[in-house]
């Protein structure tokens, strides 16, 4: 059957109310239905879960759970203990983790430190750029730091210019299984710049292509030396990457470029990238610095310039809005280091967050291997996700979740729909997730998680195909129809308190992963949002 969950249907059908009390200690293993009442014949028009799944045409696994946040009553669940990649919906848990461990007012500091006195404008020692875990640092911020250095009368250094990447584990990519060229999968350390992405732009001229590689921001757009690009006359692959002589060496197929375009490419060496950009900006201000050198420990010295980030709550709100993988990884690592001290890998940091999730959120079996959900090795159950959100309702998470809108019959977002949803989406190839809170028109708040995946189809994708795999967009659309149908069902069926009664299983698995695998990141993509996911509306 086709879905009829429009705003008009809701307003016409939801005049009836339910009044009763129920308590269940555990989520059910089957979907539940309310006991019949004289005034609830309209419920017959609400499709059950099997009808919603059939209408979507989805293939693979669908797991969900929904709980009343005030009473703790589990209302419906299916496959709720199945571990499924949560994709970027995991960022909601990462946000809770960072808020709890670091606090909403936490700020990150990036410092310029001198190891000697300043004599006649020259630092009598080394100048050190020290990262402090700020995921939002950009070239303009480094420009302001360099400008303040100039204002202080500093023109050079007697020693060297060093870069310290901080205490975070260093890794060349969040998920090594992603294609080389996707900008949402950069390297990580305790320093980041421009979300650890470099801006590649090309323009066809009479003698071939003119290309630039820049650390681009609003004011400063310095050319970089740490990443190079060569246009090669070949059919494919579109991009190649090589770690060569301390540089990110790229090539691109000439036939894929067209007349002109631009896109962000990931940076694998955050520290050298930040050092490279700072030296270029400093020289433009007549501050003479040698080429940057990396150091593994921070010597004593005096902080000459300190750049302070926005507060953590603001950073997390943007992270949840734009689904920025690098931000999730860096705030997650900051929280793990604060809890456990320096760690040797991203997986070790994620394991610390798993332990916290058990201790503080009551989760039973979180299996995250990162903080962004980019890797499909990360697993979570719908029960754990929905239960955690239900327990923390009333804390600082919900106000920073982005609104998610249902769509009308023409596909337009219904911003005035009486069903209100605050949630985190998640999208990988053949993986789709949505977790958060739905408020019914009569004000009942439900916490929910819907996790869908088709691991068989995902396993067929080669690494080179992961940017635009065949069939992934269609499958994702089907998964969103499931999410939409379930949310509309719950908002109608559980608009006010109901009396649930066990029923036969009605949500069997159908026959048979942007922080994300956004299919929209084409060769010419130059979107301002770092990892904005596809289709935030349902």
For residue 239, is pLDDT > 80?
yes
CA distance 373 to 94: 10
Query: Is 247 inside any structural domain?
Result: yes
More confident: 26 or 429: 429
For residue 465, the model assigns a pLDDT of 79
- Pair (73, 113) in one structural domain: no
Which of 291, 308, 325 is the endpoint of a domain? 308
Ranges assigned E (strand) in 233-358: 239-244, 247-253, 260-266, 293-295, 302-308
Between the alpha carbon of residue 440 and those of residues 66, 112, 419, the distances in Å are: 13, 51, 5
The range of the structural domain enclosing residue 22 comes to: 7-85+375-501
Task: Tell me how crowded residue 152 is: count the other CB atoms within 10 A of its CB.
Answer: 13
Q: At what angle do helices 325-340 and 91-102 cross, to 10 degrees?
A: 40
What is the DSSP track for 112-179?
Answer: EEESS-EETTEESS-EEEE----TT--HHHHHHHHHHHHHTT--EESS-EEEE--SSPPBS-S-TTS-
Query: Is 528 inside any structural domain?
Result: no
- Pair (194, 157) in one structural domain: yes
Q: Report the range of poorest mean pLDDT among 39-43, 167-171, 219-223, 329-333.
A: 39-43
For residue 443, is pLDDT > 50?
yes
For residue 279, is pLDDT > 80?
yes
**In the chain, how many H helices and how many E strands?**
11, 22
Query: Is 12 inside any structural domain?
Result: yes
- Pair (125, 264) in one structural domain: yes
Which of 308, 328, 344 is the endpoint of a domain? 308
- Pair (181, 247) in one structural domain: yes
C-alpha dihedral sign at 136, 140, 144, 147? positive
- Percent of the chain whose predicted confidence (pLDDT) is above 90: 77
- Pair (296, 383) in one structural domain: no
For residue 510, the model assigns a pLDDT of 36
Assign 41 a pLDDT band (cuts: 50, 70, 90): low
pLDDT digits (tens, 9 = 90+) for 510-530: 333 333 322 223 333 333 344
Query: Is 345 inside any structural domain?
Result: no
CA distance 454 to 289: 53
Mean pLDDT of 89-96: 98
For residue 83, is pLDDT > 70?
yes
- Pair (135, 169) in one structural domain: yes
Query: Is 18 inside any structural domain?
Result: yes
Query: Is 330 inside any structural domain?
Result: no
Which tokens go with 249? Answer: 């060496």
For residue 16, the model assigns a pLDDT of 35
Q: Report the range of poorest mean pLDDT among 6-15, 32-41, 196-205, 437-446.
A: 6-15
pLDDT digits (tens, 9 = 90+) for 482-516: 999 999 999 999 987 544 443 333 333 333 333 33
For residue 383, is pLDDT > 50?
yes
- Pair (141, 201) in one structural domain: yes
- Pair (237, 183) in one structural domain: yes
Query: Is 357 inside any structural domain?
Result: no
- What is the average pLDDT score of the chain? 87
Q: Report the range of poorest mean pLDDT among 24-38, 151-165, 448-462.
A: 24-38
Assign 412 a pLDDT band (cuts: 50, 70, 90): confident
- Pair (159, 71) in one structural domain: no
- Pair (184, 218) in one structural domain: yes
Query: Is 28 inside any structural domain?
Result: yes
Between the alpha carbon of residue 37 and those of residues 49, 144, 401, 423, 504, the distances in Å are: 21, 67, 36, 32, 20
- Pair (141, 203) in one structural domain: yes
Pairing of strands 293-295, 161-164: parallel
Assign 116 a pLDDT band (cuts: 50, 70, 90): very high
Ranges assigned E (strand) in 79-117: 109-114
Domain count, the chain: 2
- Pair (46, 144) in one structural domain: no
């Amino acid at each position: 059957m086709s879905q009829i969950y429009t705003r008009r249907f809701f307003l016409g059908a939801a005049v009836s109310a339910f009044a009763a009390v129920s308590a269940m200690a555990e989520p059910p293993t089957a979907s539940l239905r309310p006991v019949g009442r004289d005034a609830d014949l309209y419920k017959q028009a609400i499709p059950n879960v099997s009808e919603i799944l059939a209408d979507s045409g989805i293939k693979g696994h669908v797991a969900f759970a929904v709980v009343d946040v005030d009473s703790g009553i589990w209302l419906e669940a299916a496959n709720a203990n199945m571990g499924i990649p949560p994709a970027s919906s995991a960022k909601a848990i990462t946000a809770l983790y960072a808020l709890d461990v670091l606090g909403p007012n936490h700020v990150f500091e990036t410092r310029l430190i001198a190891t000697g006195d300043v004599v006649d404008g020259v630092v009598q020692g080394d100048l050190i750029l020290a990262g402090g875990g700020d995921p939002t640092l950009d070239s303009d911020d480094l420009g302001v730091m360099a400008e303040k250095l100039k204002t202080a009368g500093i023109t050079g250094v007697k020693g060297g210019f060093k870069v310290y990447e901080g205490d975070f584990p260093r890794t060349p990519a969040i998920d090594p299984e992603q294609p080389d060229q996707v900008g949402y999968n950069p390297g990580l350390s305790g320093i980041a710049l421009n979300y650890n992405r470099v801006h590649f732009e090309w323009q066809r001229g009479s003698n071939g292509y003119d290309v630039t590689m820049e650390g681009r921001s609003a004011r400063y757009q310095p050319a970089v030396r740490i990443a190079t690009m060569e246009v090669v006359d070949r059919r494919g692959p579109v991009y190649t990457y090589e770690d060569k002589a301390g540089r990110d060496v790229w090539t691109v197929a000439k036939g894929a470029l067209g007349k002109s375009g631009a896109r962000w490419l990931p940076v694998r060496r955050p520290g050298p990238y930040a050092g490279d950009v700072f030296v270029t900006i400093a020289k433009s201000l007549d501050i003479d610095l040698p080429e940057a050198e990396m150091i593994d420990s921070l010597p004593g010295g005096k902080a000459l310039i300190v750049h302070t980030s926005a507060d953590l709550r603001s950073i997390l709100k943007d992270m949840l809005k734009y689904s920025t993988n690098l931000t999730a990884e860096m705030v997650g690592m900051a929280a793990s280091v604060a809890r456990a001290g320096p760690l040797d890998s991203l997986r070790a940091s994620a394991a610390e967050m798993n332990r916290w999730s058990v201790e503080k959120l009551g989760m039973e079996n979180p299996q995250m291997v990162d903080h962004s959900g980019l890797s499909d090795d990360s697993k979570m159950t719908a029960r754990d996700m929905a239960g955690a959100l239900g327990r923390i309702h009333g804390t600082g998470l919900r106000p920073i979740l982005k609104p998610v809108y249902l769509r009308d019959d023409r596909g337009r977002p219904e911003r005035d729909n009486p069903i209100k949803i605050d949630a985190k989406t998640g999208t990988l190839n053949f993986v789709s997730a949505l977790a958060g809170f739905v408020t019914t028109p009569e004000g009942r708040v439900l916490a929910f998680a819907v996790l869908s995946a088709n691991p068989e189809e995902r396993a067929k994708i080669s690494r080179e195909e992961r940017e635009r795999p065949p069939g992934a967009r269609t499958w994702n659309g089907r998964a969103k129809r499931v999410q939409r149908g379930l949310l509309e069902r719950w908002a109608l069926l559980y608009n006010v308190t109901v009396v649930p009664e066990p029923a036969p299983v009605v949500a069997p698995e159908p026959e048979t992963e942007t922080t994300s695998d956004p299919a929209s990141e084409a060769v010419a993509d130059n979107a301002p949002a770092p990892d904005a996911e596809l289709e935030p509306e349902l």
